[in-house]
Amino acid sequence: MSENSTHTNTIEFTQANFDTLINADSPTLVDFWAPWCGPCKALGPTINELANDFEGKSTVGKLNVDDHPSLAAKYGVSSIPTVLVFKNSKLIKTLVGLRPKEAYAEVLNAG
């Protein structure tokens, strides 16, 4: 068994894969975060749970704003955590700050 025994379907978004991943018929949730951000760390397990809960229905992942500042700037992300939800490359929902899991699940279910 690996060190990380909890399997997760969480995607790591990067400059290279971002445009391809958000261009889906199903909702794509992107958590804009950074390793130094306390609320971001608190949100991490929720994002992993959502990735597992919505496996095969939606894409769920994280984008490190320190590694990809141009993407954060492109979408006006000025405070983190910020979660953006896309469908067919269109931004359909912005959730700023730490929210309960249900708030994110509701958006994915609606999509």
The residues carrying an active-site annotation are: 37, 40
Strands of the sheet containing 59-64, edge to edge, are 11-12, 59-64, 28-33, 82-87, 90-96
CB-facing half-sphere around the CA of 92: CA atoms within 13 A: 20
At 48, list the tokens. Answer: 């992993």
**Calpha distance 10→26 (Å, rounded):** 15
CA distances from 14 to 5, 18, 21, 78 (A): 24, 6, 10, 18
